């Protein structure tokens, strides 16, 4: 930040003797960067090379020249770091003050000015300008710091969600890619449905946690290659309840959505799903979307208990389950997505047989 004496003062006046008086007073007060202008055109040229920090404007310029000068300075006078204009007039004090304020000046002094008063007013206006600049710089630094910290917190939050999702993934799928594929697919479906960006971002983070409750299920059951017994099936279905409990106390939007998804992604549109037996639009949209993304990924990738289906067969199954297992609107949106785009981290999506 420059010292007051180094700040640039522009004197806009036609009276040569008056200008010399102003320059003499300001030079004695320690101001070294003084420039002269006699018209709005000269002001324009001077501002094009180096904007002033303060303008001393003689209101007695001929015609409407004073108003024209303010017009040339308007982009500086009205800017956040407002350029101070100190008006000089030989009129009656009240009339001069009214005219000065009406054209955009922020202070007024009568002509001929008292040297001490002029130096004080100029100093006060320049100090105020410096303070405004300091506040602007501080605000910019604080904004940058807040943006940086917010980005760091977002990264940390995403890392935490990824680690949390990987816990269930280790328990159920050694590839560690299913959860992230489901998150990506769910986000694409949400986008195809025209849902808000905030929802799309939240479901991208939340959907990978849909099976977090499987940490409470025996691996013997989860990885069993054959058909589950009725008792084993009932035990396995409890993962939705366990996941909802694990995430139920969370306060962040993504984790609250994750709890909702964990609880509802095995509900069916026709009401025959588990555990609550919800049907149709009573199933939260995040759960309806994740149900499609989850089933599509399970069908098209090898699992301990099933072989991967080819793409045509998997897409046909999703379509056939519209109105039964899945929300028809979600299936319709899913059908608009290029299946090859659902690959995650360069993994190739299954190709038609």
Residues 193 and 331 in one domain: yes
* CATH classification of the domain holding 88: 3.40.50.2300
- Which of 121, 143, 165 delimits the end of a domain? 143
- Which of 143, 160, 185 delimits the end of a domain? 143
List phi, psi (to 5°) of 156.
-65, -40
For position 158, what pLDDT does the model report?
A: 67
Environment class of residue 92 by beta-carbon count within 10 Å: exposed (0-12), middle (13-18) or buried (19+)? exposed
Residue 75 lies in a domain: yes
Residues 14 and 132 in one domain: yes
CA angle 148, 150, 154 (to 5 degrees): 120
Residues 103 and 214 in one domain: no
Residues 30 and 113 in one domain: yes
What range does the domain containing 292 cover?
Answer: 173-342
Residues 177 and 139 in one domain: no
For position 343, what pLDDT does the model report?
A: 46
Residues 191 and 132 in one domain: no
- Distance between CA 204 and CA 40 in Å, rounded? 58
Residue 150 lies in a domain: no
Residues 335 and 199 in one domain: yes
Residues 83 and 185 in one domain: no
In total, how many domains does the chain have? 2
Residue 268 lies in a domain: yes
pTM above 0.85, yes or no: no
Q: Which residues pair with 303 in a beta bridge?
A: 306
- DSSP secondary structure string, 227-286? PPPHHHHHHHHTHHHHHHHHHTT--SHHHHHHHHHHHHTT--TTS--SSS---GGGS-HH
- Distance between CA 57 and CA 78 in Å, rounded? 16
Q: Dig out the tokens for 243 from the structure.
A: 């996941």
- Which of 124, 143, 162 delimits the end of a domain? 143
Residue 349 lies in a domain: no
pLDDT 10s digit of each residue in the chain, 353 long? Answer: 456 667 888 888 888 888 888 888 888 888 888 988 887 788 887 877 778 888 888 888 877 788 888 877 777 766 656 788 888 887 666 666 677 777 777 888 888 888 888 888 888 888 888 888 788 778 777 777 777 776 666 666 666 666 666 666 665 655 458 888 999 999 999 999 999 999 999 999 899 999 888 888 887 887 787 788 989 999 889 999 998 988 888 778 888 899 999 999 999 999 999 989 999 999 999 999 999 999 999 898 887 667 888 888 999 999 999 999 999 999 999 999 987 666 443 344 443 33
Residues 203 and 327 in one domain: yes
* CATH classification of the domain holding 250: 1.10.3210.10
Residue 330 lies in a domain: yes
Residue 269 lies in a domain: yes
Residues 218 and 88 in one domain: no
Residues 187 and 128 in one domain: no
Residues 217 and 306 in one domain: yes
> How far is CA 320 from each of CA 71, 297, 330, rounded to the nearest angstrom?
70, 16, 13
């Amino acid at each position: 930040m420059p010292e007051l004496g180094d700040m640039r003062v522009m004197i806009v006046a036609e009276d040569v003797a008056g200008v010399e008086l102003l320059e003499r007073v300001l030079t004695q007060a320690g101001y070294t960067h003084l420039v002269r202008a006699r018209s709005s055109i000269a002001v324009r040229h001077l501002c094009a090379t180096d904007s002033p920090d303060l303008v001393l404007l003689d209101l007695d310029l001929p015609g409407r020249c004073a108003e024209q000068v303010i017009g040339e300075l308007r982009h500086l006078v009205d800017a956040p770091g407002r350029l101070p204009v100190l008006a000089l007039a030989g009129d009656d004090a009240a009339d001069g003050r009214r005219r000065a304020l009406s054209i955009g000046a922020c202070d007024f002094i009568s002509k001929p000015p008292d040297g001490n008063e002029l130096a004080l007013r100029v100093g006060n206006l320049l100090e105020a300008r410096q303070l405004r600049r300091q506040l602007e710089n501080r605000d910019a630094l604080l904004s940058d710091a807040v943006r940086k910290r917010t980005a760091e917190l977002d990264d940390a939050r995403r890392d935490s969600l990824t680690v949390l999702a990987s816990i269930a993934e280790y328990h159920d799928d050694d590839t560690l890619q299913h959860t992230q594929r489901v998150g990506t697919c769910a986000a694409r479906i949400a986008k195809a449905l025209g849902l808000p960006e905030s929802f799309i971002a939240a479901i991208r983070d939340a959907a990978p946690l849909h099976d977090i409750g499987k940490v409470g299920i025996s691996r013997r059951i989860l990885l069993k290659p054959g058909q589950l017994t009725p008792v084993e099936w009932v035990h396995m279905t409890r993962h939705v309840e366990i996941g909802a409990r694990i995430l139920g106390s969370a306060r962040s939007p993504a984790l609250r959505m994750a709890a909702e998804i964990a609880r509802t992604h095995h509900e069916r549109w026709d009401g025959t799903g588990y555990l609550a037996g919800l049907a149709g639009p009573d199933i939260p949209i995040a759960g309806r979307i994740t149900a499609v993304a989850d089933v599509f990924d399970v069908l098209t990738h090898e699992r301990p208990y099933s072989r991967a289906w080819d793409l045509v067969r998997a897409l046909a199954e999703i379509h056939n389950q519209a109105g039964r297992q899945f929300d028809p609107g979600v299936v319709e949106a899913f059908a608009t997505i290029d299946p090859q785009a659902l690959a995650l981290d360069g993994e190739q999506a299954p190709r038609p047989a």
